[in-house]
Amino acid sequence: DVVMTQSPLSLPVTLGQPASISCRSSQSLLHSHGNTYLSWFQQRPGQSPRRLIYKVSNRDSGVPDRFSGSGSGSDFTLKISRVEAEDVGVYYCMQATHWPWTFGQGTKVEIK
């Protein structure tokens, strides 16, 4: 199985400041037909997960533009340009190139 490794696992941030989460995969996530199926999910306390980003850098509907994704191959990043209070929660990267789809361990974002 593809192992997804996130860092850091805990991220205290100041409101209005940027935040960045790294995700590395144990093998390339480039699919044979040219797409890279790397997604980012947000799970707020007490809520179901919600996807923010699909195929590395594409925002899902309704996702604020302060969230952005980048990367290629096996190295990816989620950035929040200016953290807001509603961004508190756990963020997971997930690969859907290889079965079984696998998640990272999660990064807990909290306000300092």
Partner 1 sequence: EVQLVESGGGLVQPGGSLRLSCAVSGFTFRSYWMNWVRQVPGKGLEWVANIKDDGTDKYYVDSVRGRFTISRDNVQSSLYLQMDSLRVEDTAVYYCASVQRGFPFDYWGQGILVTVSS
- Write out the residues near partner 1 by the rule CB under 8 A: 1, 35, 37, 39, 41, 43, 48-51, 54-55, 58-61, 92, 94, 96, 99-106
Q: Detail the DSSP E strand segments found in 1-65.
A: 4-7, 10-13, 19-25, 38-43, 50-54, 58-59
Which residue is it, tokens 């037909």?
Answer: 33
Shortest distance, CB of residue 6 to partner 1, whole angstroms? 10
Please, which residue, 55 or 66, has the CB nearer to partner 1?
55
Could you tell me the smallest distance in angstroms from the CB atom of residue 16 to partner 1?
27
Beta-bridge partner residues of 76: 23, 71
Residue number with CB closer to partner 1 (16 or 33): 33
CB-nearer residue toward partner 1: 16 or 95: 95
Identify the CA nearest to 44 among candidates 52, 56, 54.
Answer: 52
21, two tokens: 């989460």
Task: State the minimum distance, in angstroms, from the CB of residue 15 to partner 1.
Answer: 26
Q: Tell the smallest beta-carbon distance from residue 75 to partner 1 (Å).
A: 19
CA distances from 14 to 34, 62, 85, 87, 88 (A): 38, 24, 9, 11, 11
Nearer to partner 1, 60 or 75 (CB): 60
